[in-house]
Every structure is written in C-alpha cells, then in structure tokens.
Homo-oligomer: A and B are copies of this chain.
Amino acid sequence: MKNTPIPYDIVKQKIAESGLPKVGRATIREIVRLVNEIEAATGLKYIRMEMGVPGMEPNSVGIEAEIQALRSGVASKYPMIDGVPALKKEISRFVKNFINIEVDEKNCIPTVGSMQGGMASFLLTNRCFKEKDTVLFIDPGFPVQKQQLKVLGMKYETFDVYNYRGDKLKAKLESYLNKGNISTILYSNPNNPSWICFSENELQIIGDLSNKYDVVIIEDLAYFAMDFRKDLSKPGQAPYQQSVANYTKNWIMLISSSKAFSYAGQRIGCMVVSNELYKRRFPDLKRFFSSDEFGYAMLYGAVYSLSSGTCHSAQYGLAAMLKAANDGTFDFVESLKEYGAKAKIMKQLFVDNGFQIVYNMDEDKPLADGFYFTISYPGFSGEDLIDELVYYGISAISLVITGSEKTEGLRACVSQVQRSQFGDLEARLKQFHTDNPIK
C-alpha cells in the first residue's frame, strides 16, 4: 500500500464503490461525485480543478435589481419572448462598449443561459440551406455543444486547432468548407479548455471564409474579457474583446453571464445576432418555421418553443449589471483578474514539479493566464494521470472529451481552488514528482 497524501486505501475503496471502470475516463459530474465522497470520508480537501464554475460572488447590483423586480410583481407576468426592453438596450450598449460592434437592440435576445443560446442557434443556422446540414467545431471545446447536436439528430465535424494556428488555419478550414456541407463554424474565445485566444490574423481568416463560403460563425464568448494580457475593462475604449464580427456580417455571439458576471445560477445569457443576419431570408427555413426571416424564426420559432423566454426577474438582474458596466460604475473585469493571478502561480507550481503546459502559445505569444490551463506529465496518458492524481488530492478532467488530440493532457480550472490551498498543492505535486521520477 502506497503512502499518498489522501489515504490510499480509502481512495481505492471509494473508486471501487463508484463502479467506475477507470476514473480517468469518467465524466465531469462522475468525478465531482467521487471526490465529494472521498472528501467526506477522509475529511481532507482536494485541489478541485474538474469543474468550470464561477468562484466568486456576483456584484450586488444584479441581486438587488432582481429583488426589486420580484417585489414589483414581474413573477406573475410572462416575459416578452424577445426580452425586456431594458435588458435589450444594455446588451446592445455592452456589445458596442466592450467589442466595438454596432448591433440593434432588437437583435439582442436573452436566453436561458448560453446553453439555450447554442441550442436555438443550431436550430436555425444548420437549416438555412438544405445542403448545409453540418456544424464545424474548431476544437478543443465544450463537449455539451456536440451533445446538443446529437440530441437534435444533427451532424458535426471537428478538428483540433493545435497544429493549425496562424496562416495554417486557412487551408485547414477550407478543406472542410469546400465540401459544401458546413453551415456553421463554432469556437469559444478565450477557449475552453485550452485558453488559447485567436489572433486578429486568425479571426480575419475565419471571417473572410465565412463570407466566401456563406457560413454563420457562432462565437461563444463564455469567458468574455478574460484575456488578461490586455485591459478590456474600459467601456468605449480600446482595446476591445476580440471578435470575428470585425471581419464578417454573418455572426451570432453567445455572451454568458455565468463567468463574466458570476451569475451561473440564474441561467441567463445573451444571444446577439448581427443586423444583416437577423433580417436575412432563407427560404429553406420554411421547412421548420412559419417564417423564412432569420430573426423572426429565431424568436417566434426557436426561442418561443424552447421555453417561452427567460426568467423575468433574472432579466432585470442582468440588465442592472450590464448597465453598471456600460456606465463605467462597475468594473466587472477587475474581480475576474484573480482567476488569472491564481493561474499564473498554479501553472508555475505544476511546471516546477515536472509537468508541462500542453497548449502554451498563441502563435508567437505566450498564452494568457486565465480560467483554465492544460497540463501533462511525461510518461503518462491523460487518463492515467487523472487516475494517479486522485490519490494526491488533485482532480481535473481529460482533454480527450473536449475534442483535443492531446491525449496526454488534462484541463485544470482555477476557480474553485483557494489561495490558502497553494501550500497543499505544492506539497502534493512535490510528492507526486518524487513518487514518479521522470526518466
């Protein structure tokens, strides 16, 4: 029996009880459950890096606005399908202030999280042309978006962008686009799980190809303004959150409130459709919707059918936070910088103990420190590494489930790890390194 930071026999027993054939192959939620049980049985605290949840409290302006809306009686009244005017206005201002893109208030639609925003988007973008029935993911990415397509009975293709950064991206994308079946390209930026951020050159390539092949770009901005190498916090002032919207008119943005505003619990996000795409007509949409106008079909077809709109009070909560950010009275980026600060320290601790950062460059620039980073250890597959680290009180997920080809890699999320745990993290990594000397 090995002498590990978390008692070996208890971990072994809990793994056996879980019924998991291999911890390294478990889903995020299965790992969460297993670690919960080991923590309860041992009284010891893990360095928990498996789940991408916000690690801070939201600004009180959102909570207070929700409470005021509830007291004013919104709970009994159906919200308008397209969102309350106050929120639509602030989303439009937010897109202008922080991305420097103009979009009509009409085209700013609250959704039940970006999860619903993605679902609604697929229902439209993948059906605008009969022959274009496939979504292309620039991976690695969020596994549930692929699950959404499977649930809808829709097709997708995917590639790992690791070997296709910079100018190489163009030929790689065209190898898919020139087949004629791709309707949509989706990526997240900053990227979950690798934390790569596309360069302006890469975004221009994507935008140009969107125009050339008439393909909709869904830009998943779940980690809005979290490329901390630049100061993206000033409304109406450069630099701005990067976006493909500077290079094409054919886009949908999904702006989540979960991480940028720590509002994951209320399930509210923003789907923003470009002015041009919103009013464009696609006769093939009539197969599934009463209207062939993209925006009308999106609202009264997809969004209405999915849930009749978004929680009324939550709309007022988000509107208040966006307004404060737009007015410059609330610097929503400031508190998020703690994620980057923790990542910098944690990455160093891993590197000092023999680990490597898997995705480590944006073309010629070192990767930003942010919500996630990726790690590997010589001689271990990603699955085996998770299997082993669990005895050392460290939990993460395998990159394989994110569409990455880096089978040796793990995704580590910083949000749930407290600075007070850094001592534990260092000691555990040291022991791991000692127990597993690199040959």
Interface residues, chain A, with chain B CB atoms under 8 Å away: 29, 53-54, 56-58, 62-63, 66-67, 70-71, 73-79, 112-113, 115-116, 119, 123, 144, 147-148, 150-153, 258, 262-268, 287-290, 300-302, 304-314, 317
Indicate which residue in B57, B74, B116, B265 contacts A306 across the interface (CB closer than 8 Å): B116
Name the CB-closest residue of B to A51: B78
Instruction: Establish whether residues A265 and B302, one from each chain, have CB atoms under 8 Å apart when the complex forms.
Output: no
Name the CB-closest residue of B to A57: B76
Contact A312:B266 (CB < 8 A) given known A56-B76, A57-B76, A70-B63? yes
Indicate which residue in B62, B75, B112 contacts A75 across the interface (CB closer than 8 Å): B62
Instruction: Establish whether residues A312 and B265, one from each chain, have CB atoms under 8 Å apart when the complex forms.
Output: yes
Main secondary structure of the interface of A (DSSP, over half): helix
Instruction: Establish whether residues B77 and A70, one from each chain, have CB atoms under 8 Å apart when the complex forms.
Output: no
Instruction: Establish whether residues B313 and A147, one from each chain, have CB atoms under 8 Å apart when the complex forms.
Output: no
The 5 closest A-B pairs by CB, nearest first: A265-B312, A112-B307, A311-B311, A116-B307, A115-B308
Indicate which residue in B66, B153, B265, B317 contacts A288 across the interface (CB closer than 8 Å): B153
**Pairs A–B under 8 Å by Cβ, sample size 30:** A53-B78, A54-B76, A54-B77, A57-B73, A66-B70, A66-B75, A67-B70, A67-B71, A74-B265, A75-B266, A76-B263, A77-B265, A78-B258, A79-B267, A112-B112, A112-B116, A113-B308, A123-B151, A147-B290, A151-B288, A151-B305, A153-B153, A265-B312, A266-B313, A267-B307, A267-B309, A267-B311, A267-B312, A306-B306, A307-B307
In the complex, chain B residues whose CB is within 8 Å of the CB of A54? 76-77
Distance of A317 Cα from B310 Cα, bound (Å): 16
